Amino acid sequence: MKKRINTIINMIPPGAKKIVDVACDHGLIGIQAYNLDHIKAVICSDINDNALAAAKGNVKRENLDIECRISDGLKEIDKKEFDVAIIAGLGSKAITQIVKDSLPKLTNKKIIISTNDNLYKLRKFMNKNGFVVEQEKLVKENNVIYTVILYIPADFIEEELREEQLYFGPKLLSEKHDLLFEVIDNEIEKVDGILKILPPKYFIKQLRLRSRKAYLKRLKRKLS
């Protein structure tokens, strides 16, 4: 768990003062963020009573001045209470929903997101809504690869990301992140797995999957 959380903490911009740890569960991210010198206030929030009780217990044990608050996403958090929102440990669909539900609150805010599933739609949504990828990392923990992204508000009209960037991340691609090859290999393996069990009547789907596999192999060659 340490590697992923450390990557998230390292992405908190040095100028940040107020953090909200959305979907905090045990509050480990919020607690670690609180220990940064430049952080003046942290709110740990979660939709679930039991999760929040666990966070409260940890905060109390460490004797920290962190508020723990029940909230569905950012619904109970005021715009003035944070300059960086961290939304980690959820699927990208749930993260997108949280951002969508509180979009006006997030104007001019920085957002750190982390998930281990497909980010295509989340990246597309963020791109369309004026957020720019400032940092993007992959981290492997317990054999799972997590993506961690720091989004900042765009101060210009953001270029539309290309398909390749939506799938694999603009910075991960331009920086040729070490784990990117493994991500692409995993994707190829997934496609092979589906092809193996797909009945012959799904001919069109088979064609699409084969061309996806060829594309992924080309991408790997291009990056190496």
Ligand X SMILES: C[S@@+](CC[C@H](N)C(=O)[O-])C[C@H]1O[C@@H](n2cnc3c(N)ncnc32)[C@H](O)[C@@H]1O
Residue 20 lies near ligand X (rule: CB under 6 A): no
Residue 184 lies near ligand X (rule: CB under 6 A): no
Q: Which is nearer to ligand X, 7 or 127 (CB)?
A: 7
Q: What is the dihedral of CA 131, 150, 83, 23, to 10 degrees?
A: 110
Task: State in angstroms the smallest separation of the CB of 185 from ligand X.
Answer: 25
Please measure the distance between the N-terminal and C-terminal CA atoms of the chain and give it in whole angstroms: 30
Residue 33 lies near ligand X (rule: CB under 6 A): no
Beta pairing partners, 21: 44, 86
Q: Where are the alpha helices (DSSP H) in the chain?
A: 2-10, 28-34, 49-61, 92-101, 120-128, 163-168, 170-174, 180-197, 203-223
Task: State in angstroms the smallest separation of the CB of 106 from ligand X.
Answer: 14
- Identify which of 128, 168, 176 has the alpha carbon closest to the alpha carbon of residue 149: 168
Q: From the list 41, 94, 132, 179, which residue makes contact with ligand X (rule: CB under 6 A)?
A: 94
Residue 90 lies near ligand X (rule: CB under 6 A): yes
Q: What is the largest CA-CA distance in the chain?
A: 63
Q: Which is nearer to ligand X, 76 or 160 (CB)?
A: 76
Task: State in angstroms the smallest separation of the CB of 174 from ligand X.
Answer: 26
| # residues contacting ligand X (CB under 6 A) | 17
Q: Which is nearer to ligand X, 44 or 161 (CB)?
A: 44
> Are residues 46 and 19 in contact, defined by beta-carbon separation less than 8 angstroms?
no
Q: From the list 12, 51, 59, 172, which residue makes contact with ligand X (rule: CB under 6 A)?
A: 51
